[in-house]
Amino acid sequence: MKKCIVCGAKFFEKPLLEFDDMPRSAQNIPNESELNQDTGMTLRLYQCRGCGLVQFDCDPVNYYKDVIRSGGFTTTMVNLRKSQYSHLIEKYHLEKRKFLEVGCGQGEFLSILKEFPVEAYGIENKQELVDKAVSQGLNVFQGFVGDDKAVVQNGPYDVFLSFNFFEHQPDPNGMLQGIYNNLTDDGMGLITVPSLEYILEHNGYYELIHDHLVYYTFDTLRFVLEKNGFEVLEEEMINRDTLSMIVRKKAKINVLKIQDSYGQICKQVNDYVDGKRKEGKKVAFWGASHQGFTLAATAKLGGKIEYIIDSAPFKQGRFAPASHIPIISPEKAVSQMVDAIIIAAPGYTDEIAGIIQEKYGNEVEIAVMKTKELELYEDIKK
């Protein structure tokens, strides 16, 4: 049994729908001499039980890489594109940026984009359509963005556009990965596909056609976009029957401060321990926790501090991983008392400080490892 083309999960066992005598395609329609070779086909519509995507289980039509727009230039469509372009460009300040229409046909929608203050480019698989677009003065390259290795000339681009092309694709992840790789780091996109919600609402089985391999909903379109590294900024139903989403590449999380804290904390702990050792004093840790282990190991405290105290019997008698500092019980520490204890157990500071003062007296200095720095317990309590 075939698997979901987006997430690889299995389909629900039975097809949602099955229709015989469906046309094999909506393009390349037969002439009189081809009629004896043209037959109908059975189409089975399945739903993925993982991501919920609704899709046919058959191969795509053989021209799925081409964008053949029969609709032409209706006033409604021209006005729709104009309002989409102006919203996108104004809201996200995309003036002077480089736009790429992926699957631009003969440049029907690119020619409208040319009226806006942006650089407009397109890529189209079918040479005949590329030639027509170029002859109208449009910047259109021949090619197909079908996988993560696709390189579009003149890239990277700031914005991609995809108008009712994505639903034809047998490898939606491949196309989105290819687009992703040809975009700048904060690259954006505008994508439209026919809406399954619309078909469900109008019960129109005749909306189903082999050319449209996949039937996206808001949920499943958002899912495939997010799966491929995009975040959906806006989503809406346009022209009654079409899903439209504005996306941007997800940003990398900024870990600069965590990286900085590594150097700072290691230095602080070492300065403190070294200072005590110069005075002939001994230092220990309290807390054989993952925080204590990491701190002791990365700050290279093995051999510099005496031991790590922990109340958990199953840790006592063992050694801290990587730093190999011995772990002992609070009772055992009494017989080999240190001069200072660093508490490395976030969340239990007060409780542990109380135990130290009670068991070992007020002579022992207590230091606390806070999120960003080492502080003396007496200073925190002031």
Question: Which spans of this chain sit near Zn ion (rule: CB under 5 A)?
Answer: 4, 6-7, 9, 48, 50-51, 53
CB 240, min distance to Zn ion, A: 27
CB 3, min distance to Zn ion, A: 8
Nearer to Zn ion, 49 or 359 (CB): 49
CB 113, min distance to Zn ion, A: 33
CB 219, min distance to Zn ion, A: 11
CB 255, min distance to Zn ion, A: 32
Nearer to Zn ion, 213 or 333 (CB): 213
Nearer to Zn ion, 196 or 327 (CB): 196
Is the bond leading into 194 cis (omega within 30 degrees of zero)?
no
Could you give the CA distance from residue 96 to residue 285 in angstroms, rounded to a whole number? 59
**Count of beta carbons in the 10 Å neighbourhood of residue 218:** 16
- Residue 357: both structure tokens together: 């003062």
Nearer to Zn ion, 10 or 149 (CB): 10
Could you give the CA distance from residue 133 to residue 131 in angstroms, rounded to a whole number? 5
Nearer to Zn ion, 9 or 26 (CB): 9
Strands 54-56 and 41-47: antiparallel
CB 222, min distance to Zn ion, A: 13
Smallest CA-to-CA distance from 327 within 339, 314, 338 is with 314
Smallest CA-to-CA distance from 374 within 303, 278, 276 is with 276
- Does residue 307 contact residue 334 with C-beta atoms inside 8 Å? no
Per DSSP, the three-state class of 185 is strand
Q: Alpha-carbon dihedral of residues 28, 32, 33, 37, nearest 10 degrees?
A: 60
Nearer to Zn ion, 162 or 220 (CB): 220
